[in-house]
Structure 1
């Protein structure tokens, strides 16, 4: 039986649920389907705190049925392929679902084969990732007895770009509490050129790095892990360099060079963000960029979020090729733009005046009870909330921002965002 809906939404994550709720708040009679196979919905921003033993994992999980807006048809299935010329989505079990408008918001996927040896390394008790199992991260911290504590991230786009360094700041404080900090070298290796790209947050974080005595390694792109030798191989990506150089007098982390452009760093514990990509069914679809640096990610206009070719198709959230950070805060600003555009197209067959300016935010936890709130938009321009900024400088470490992260934001997420009310 062919099913048809005014709006079909792919994904029951933050973007899908929030957009469905907002559409129904405008028109409760609208016929909307959400295609989502998962039974659970997770509040992933709290996983950093779970990894540091400061939040309970079960508090981040709710049944998908409890967040699915009333009035939505939940198709509990996997989307497999798209037929945009026929305005249809094919599913694994439920056949074809057709639409007037399509919103693609399935998030992204972990690519565990994107770094050689990563899949095997994650089976060991010294390698962990908050992106996969934050409770294991906390076990690794508890069992760590000193040595190299290495934190790194891949060259691919990742969700919540600040997460790999947040757990590092918390871990450093945890090592103090557990009495092993003096026997520990904390290392942060990033493919990027700086610790953070937006001022004045960059300056604050550089001060945190110095205070915590972190070995910051820039232009380090991980490509291989040897879980037996407990070593990570990094390509040195800085251009116009004659090759890798190590200052032997300061080489307390025992790294060594292989060839001209490879650093090898040993670890006693390793936390990393895995490489990430758009889900396969998007990568292989007509909606994805076919070439270039954004290949595989969804091709949308960065201001309207409308697909560049299929005008009744919109993208939302982590799956999109947008020059800003992939966060829930970004989705909070993207969803109303998609909603306004679809409502205006239904009414007058044209886009609304709403535009997405690239807003995203990164709540950068710098220790237990300390946080910096980095808010920015396209071109790395600071875009801090004017109301919040009246009461505090969000570029400085604040206890009040930690309280916001741990208690305020989860409440707003479940009770406001998921209801389409912000």
Structure 2
């Protein structure tokens, strides 16, 4: 439990359990408010009734005011303000991460609802950045850096700040090649300071909360920064912890993943040392970044084993949580040819839920045609794991989130539907496109043009068509370049059959795109963006 005291009458916390209540009572809390809807997190989440019963035994008052992420209403704020009046203090309110409880408290204290709420006895410990920025960009990944560069190319006098805690910037698309022995991992990482566009201020901190109704971003260092326009591009979060036992065994016991800088080289070590046995490759439920990456790891491994003459000794299995090999049907036949060539066994509706590294056992939840789930344990000699992927917590529990937790945007303009000075792009955006770097490259132009139009009070003329690209490395030296938009519509850049594996596309993937990334995209050069007006 992570508890934050806002003043002497009120604190917020992430999810609590009945076992936490005695300590809270001993600490002096007299009332508990649950802001998390029942069954939001599955069976592991205690119900409000269970917490109410446990609280009653300790003499604690309990109130249930559930709100969904991103859907806090004025009525919710008023009800919360009334609870702060009615309930004996100190009050502790909680939700999944504590953000919704905090947002309700902030809204309850706003002028519109604060009349009936008690004034705080102690002011929150926060500091203000003296500047109100024209634009604040959350995220220093491809999406955040590219859109900032695009904005400053159009209006160099903009006062722009990028909020990013990491000291390095990674070229993640190459990690699949690293795991296949075809790229040096050291070439995928550069200092963050080297990619920050000239003219932008880098604020090295993490976002803890966004108050879009107040145009304020809260940082984990206690600082608050104000903005006129906000761009949300923090990427997504790799939820390793959602697979039981995984974090304890990553990087050893034959357990690896190309989704992390330090693990991609371990993938190649395992592939090289594998002379026989069972190799499992997994893919979690969508959405994930680069939907083709899980199978690309399998293809490159199998190609190495084929070239080394040991493929016949390796039992290769690809466990997918979904029901199809690839989301765009046009590309399934050429991919199936490689699945057959490598003798890989496809297991659909099979989701990795637990792993025991020392015993080399992976447990899958497998669903039949009727949706009935069973647990199946499988032995492995090596396993390539793709973790479940979710929006960052400060987005999931914010006013900006949709019901699934992603930053809600209009699918064409990428503008937030309730906060017109907020735009989102990249992996965190709710648009139903493939979460790829190529998508962010196209989206950056749309956001730059539309945000400047919104600031000028002009119509948003540019539209995003859902473009995404997935270079499917089916063997070392050949790639199927899948380019598509909304609804699986093919959007090829080159006048060639896109389903045919080509050496040209391998050259593009392994040599051209990395250079274009560092010297083109991150510099705001918008080659082949094909941004269109509505």
TM-score (norm 2): 0.72
Counterpart Cα distance in 2 of 1:94 and 1:413: 34
RMSD of the alignment, in Å? 1.5
Cα deviation code 1:118-161 (max 9, x no counterpart): 11231523010000221111112122231111001111421111
SS in 1 for 2:465: coil
Counterpart Cα distance in 1 of 2:306 and 2:458: 58
Q: What does 1:153-172 correspond to in 2, within 5 Å?
A: 153-172=283-302
Q: What does 1:20-419 correspond to in 2, within 5 Å?
A: 20-93=148-221, 95-132=223-260, 133-240=263-370, 261-289=374-402, 291=403, 294=404, 296-347=405-456, 349-385=457-493, 388-389=494-495, 392-419=496-523
SS in 1 for 2:181: coil
Please identify, of 137-146 and 228-237, the stretch whose mean Cα deviation from structure 2 is larger: 228-237
- Do the aligned residues in 1 keep the contact of 2:147 with 2:524 (CA within 8 Å)? yes
The corresponding residue for 1:257 is none
Counterpart Cα distance in 1 of 2:220 and 2:278: 46
Cα deviation code 1:165-196 (max 9, x no counterpart): 00100000112334432210111111121211
SS in 2 for 1:301: coil
How big is the shift at 1:226?
2.4
Cα deviation code 1:57-87 (max 9, x no counterpart): 1111111111111000111111111111210
The corresponding residue for 2:115 is none
SS in 2 for 1:130: coil
Counterpart Cα distance in 2 of 1:94 and 1:16: 22
SS in 2 for 1:192: coil
Counterpart Cα distance in 2 of 1:37 and 1:308: 28
Counterpart Cα distance in 1 of 2:469 and 2:282: 21
Cα deviation code 1:246-279 (max 9, x no counterpart): xxxxxxxxxxxxxx63333221100011111111
Counterpart Cα distance in 2 of 1:315 and 1:161: 20
Cα deviation code 1:276-323 (max 9, x no counterpart): 11111212211112x3xx2x2111111111112111111110011221
Structure 1: 4+ residue segments shifted above 6 A: none
Counterpart Cα distance in 2 of 1:82 and 1:214: 46
SS in 1 for 2:463: coil
- Do the aligned residues in 2 keep the contact of 1:2 with 1:95 (CA within 8 Å)? no
SS in 1 for 2:284: coil
- Do the aligned residues in 1 keep the contact of 2:253 with 2:357 (CA within 8 Å)? no
Residue 352 to residue 177, structure 1, CA distance change in 2 (3 Å): same
- Do the aligned residues in 2 keep the contact of 1:22 with 1:421 (CA within 8 Å)? yes
How big is the shift at 1:94?
6.3
How big is the shift at 1:46?
0.5
- Do the aligned residues in 2 keep the contact of 1:187 with 1:216 (CA within 8 Å)? yes
Counterpart Cα distance in 2 of 1:119 and 1:90: 29
Counterpart Cα distance in 1 of 2:224 and 2:136: 12
Counterpart Cα distance in 2 of 1:346 and 1:198: 37
Counterpart Cα distance in 2 of 1:130 and 1:406: 16
May I ask how many residue pairs the two structures share in their alignment?
Answer: 396
Please identify, of 178-187 and 358-367, the stretch whose mean Cα deviation from structure 2 is larger: 178-187
How big is the shift at 1:350?
4.0
SS in 2 for 1:382: coil
- Do the aligned residues in 1 keep the contact of 2:450 with 2:460 (CA within 8 Å)? yes
- Do the aligned residues in 2 keep the contact of 1:105 with 1:318 (CA within 8 Å)? yes
TM-score (norm 1): 0.90
- Do the aligned residues in 1 keep the contact of 2:279 with 2:314 (CA within 8 Å)? yes
The corresponding residue for 1:256 is none
Higher RCO, 1 vs 2 (CA within 8 Å, ≥6 residues apart): 1
How big is the shift at 1:38?
1.2
Residue 239 to residue 350, structure 1, CA distance change in 2 (3 Å): farther
SS in 2 for 1:409: helix
